[in-house]
Amino acid sequence: MANDCLKRVGTGVAVGGALGGAVGAVYGTYEAIKIKVPGLLKIRYIGQTTVGTAAVFGLFLGAGSLIHCGKSY
């Protein structure tokens, strides 16, 4: 039971990180162009946005998986 729960939470974090990374890359690119970030700083800006969004999505999907882990339907 505990191993199954850990697997579910890990999967939630992985899916959230992947989804957040994709959303963060698109949003970071849009923002970098919109606010006219100069030169190679665009890459840094997009990377920071991607990693930050991936971490937040992963955290929330992992927490949601942990909450649902104790419930049996």
pLDDT digits (tens, 9 = 90+) for 4-42: 889 999 999 999 999 999 999 999 999 999 999 999 999
Residue 69 has pLDDT above 80, yes or no: yes
All residues at 6 or more sequence positions from 11 whose CB lies less than 8 Å from its CB, including other chains: 65
pLDDT for the residue 42: 95
Going from the C-alpha of 21 to that of each of 30, 36, 43, 63, the distances in angstroms are: 14, 22, 14, 18
CB–CB of 61/15 below 8 Å? Answer: yes
